[in-house]
Amino acid sequence: MPLSAPATQPLIALRDVVKVYATPAGDFPALKGITAEVYPGEFVGIIGKSGAGKSTLLNMITGVDHLTAGEVVVRGPGDQQPVSIHQLGENALAHWRGRNLGVIYQSFQLLPMLNLVDNITLPMDFCGLYRPFGSRGRALELLRLVDLEGHAHKLPAYISGGQQQRVAIARALANDPPILIADEPTGSLDSLTAETIFELFEKLVGQGKTIVMVTHDNSLAPRFTRRLYIADGALVEAESYASQ
């Protein structure tokens, strides 16, 4: 597995990203000038301990939070021009995110009042890709991909946590984005279920998706195609991280 970046055009480029939170105790720098690149087809793991800034970094990539300084540039599929996502307004960013990124959280974040099919077709609806009947067929295909076709019309509350996470992955794939961003996706799952999720990610990478995943579990490091270690808001070398 390559540990250095491949020599092609990066899909995601973080340039000197700084995030400072204002707290009653004073400014707290969560990210201290991070520069990194993610290339097509990579399965990148961002590994760090609790409070290291890994989720903040992910929020910078997804545009969920505002950065204090620096830039995040993401290249869309095909001939799309690279987009400096923090230059986009809230609405444009939401639309862009819906088309280009699939985001998966530890707590699944499914809408409880919609069944699994509707949870998956919702991103298509918001991004103008919804086709009556056709979209539902695609949602069923995605559920088949995650082995949940038989539960298509259940509400999230009626399936297990592992199954909910698989639905969240299916939803992230709804608009066929080139990039998946996952924040501790196996954090609340047992090891057996976590393994099935990981296998699913590896399968998707094999199909050409690019995945950036955050985890605190260093034992997962060998499963990634490339690893970025983060400590105290800055990227560090693997050796330095291991010695902490």
Partner 1 sequence: MLAMRPRWRKVLADLWENKARSLLVIVSIAVGVFSVGMIAGAYVIISHDMGASYASANPANIEMRTAPFSDELLAALEQVEGVEAAEGRCFTSVRVRTGPDSWTSLNLVSVADYRESQINLLVPLEGAAEPGRREVLLERNGLEKIGAAVGDVLEFELPDGTVRSMPVTGIVLDQSSNAGDFLASPLAYVSFDTLVWLHQPETYNRLYVTVSSDSNDEAYIRQVADAVNDRLERSRCQVYRTHVNKTNEHPLQSTVQAILGVLGALGVLIVLLSSSLIANTLSALLSQHQRHIGVMKLVGGRTFQIFGMYIVLILVYGMIALLIAIPLGGQAAYALAQLIADQMNFNLLGYRIVPLAFLIQTVIALGVPLASGFVPVNNGSRATVLQAVSGYNPGAVQSGWIDRLTSQAAERLTWISRPLLIALRNTFRRKGRLALTLFTLTMGGAIFVAVFNVRSALNNYLDSIGHYFLADVALNFDRPYRRNEIEDVALRIPGVEAIEGWTYASAEVLRPDDTVEVNLQILAPPAGSTLVSPNLLSGRWIEPGDEKVITVSEGMLEHYPDLQPGDTLRLKIAGQEDEWTVVGLFKFVGVQGLVGYASYETISDLLTQPNQAFTYRIVTDQHNYAYQDQMAATIDRHFRDLGYHVSLAEAGSDSLDTAAESLDILITFLLIMALLTATVGSMGLAGTMSMNVLDRTREIGVMRSIGAVDWVVMRTVIIEGLIIGLLSWFMGCIVAVPITSLLSAIIGQTVFATPLDFTYTVTGVAIWLGLVLVLSALASVLPARNAARLTIREVLAYE
Name the residue nearer to partner 1 (CB basis): 75 or 99.
Answer: 99
Name the residue nearer to partner 1 (CB basis): 51 or 206.
Answer: 51
- Compute the distance between CA of residue 200 and CA of residue 194 in angstroms, rounded to an integer: 10
Least Cα distance to 212 among 72, 113, 87 occurs for 72
Name the residue nearer to partner 1 (CB basis): 62 or 210.
Answer: 62
Q: Is 105 one of the binding residues for partner 1 (CB under 8 A)?
A: yes
Starting at the earlier edge strand, list the strands of the sheet with 83-84: 26-38, 12-23, 69-74, 83-84
Name the residue nearer to partner 1 (CB basis): 94 or 221.
Answer: 94
Helix locations, the chain, DSSP H:
54-62, 90-100, 116-126, 134-145, 161-172, 191-206, 238-243
Non-local (6+) Cβ contacts of 99 within 8 A are: 76, 127, 129, 175, 177
- Tell me which of 126, 145, 149, 198 binds partner 1, using CB under 8 A: 126
**Strand 234-236, strand 226-231: pairing:** antiparallel
The mark string for 130-169 relative to partner 1 (x by CB under 8 A, - otherwise) is x-xx--x---------------------------------
- Compute the distance between CA of residue 227 and CA of residue 225 in angstroms, rounded to an integer: 7
Q: Near partner 1 by CB under 8 A, which window of 12-20, 59-67, 203-211, 224-232? A: 59-67
- Compute the distance between CA of residue 238 and CA of residue 45 in angstroms, rounded to an integer: 12
CB of 196 to partner 1, least distance (A): 23
Q: Near partner 1 by CB under 8 A, which window of 58-66, 79-87, 219-227, 231-239? A: 58-66
* Interacting residues with partner 1 (CB under 8 A): 59, 62, 64-65, 90-91, 94-95, 97-99, 103, 105, 107, 109-111, 113-114, 118-119, 121-127, 130, 132-133, 136, 171, 174-175
